[in-house]
Copies of this chain bind each other. A is one copy, B any other.
Amino acid sequence: MKVNLHEVLRQTLSPGINLTEEEWAIVFNCCKAKTTKRNEILLEKGKISQYLYFVVKGCLRIFLIDEDGQEATRFLIFEGSFGTAFPSFTLRQQSSAAIQSIEPSELLMISHADYQMLLNTMPGWERMTRLGLQQDYIDAIIRIESLITMDAKQRYDILMKKNPKIIQRLPGKFVADYLGISQETLSRLKARRK
């Protein structure tokens, strides 16, 4: 059972990483399994993010809440991806974002201490981390570009093309605040496009 979770992780990582069996065993040993309910909060705003999560099944949402309760989705993490409140996890600072599992999910979690240990003892892990960061950074750049150059409709169309599962699978309010628009605007966008 737990082995299955590990295999999912291994299959996800293996393209970019070359570890010995012993090393894989150490990595697996750093992973705690966790099952969450719909809308369960994994990290509250203001706390320091202690875990890097790997989503085996389900979906995580990293989001911000302002004083008047307005939410904005920083990231959505689906099956086969890692995610956490990255600035908090990395810099050991209070998190401006919260984490919730918006679907019942199966997760693996790696503590910050173990993450650092792996970085310091396993060159293959550092390489994998670098490659992962590289891709995450590129994705962030693309998102920035879409925000500074496109209007809401264009951003919606791109998302539909590049990542339709976000739109198909999640309630519109998450899609809306991921795109940086209001729920009503999203609803009107959908109506407009035919």
Contacts and interface: CB of A to CB of B under 8 A. Distances in A.
A182 to B, nearest CB: 11
A73 B147 CA distance: 12
Contacts of A143: 144
B126 A133 contact: no
Contacts of A177: 148
Interface string A123-152: 100110110011011101111110111000
Interface hub of A87, A127, A136, A179 (most chain B Cβ within 10 A): A87
A145 B66 CA distance: 12
Q: Could you say how many copies of this chain the assembly holds?
A: 2
A91 interface: yes
A42 interface: no
Given A130-B129, A149-B72, A136 B137 contact: yes
B147 A144 contact: yes
A126 B137 contact: no
Interface in A22-49: none
B145 A74 contact: yes
Contacts of A137: 86, 133, 136-137, 140
Interface residues of A, number: 35
Contact of A138 (B64, B86, B130): B86
A181 to B, nearest CB: 9
A18 interface: no
A90 interface: yes
18 contacts: A66-B149, A72-B145, A86-B137, A86-B141, A87-B141, A87-B142, A90-B138, A119-B130, A123-B123, A126-B126, A126-B127, A129-B130, A133-B133, A133-B137, A136-B137, A144-B147, A147-B148, A149-B180
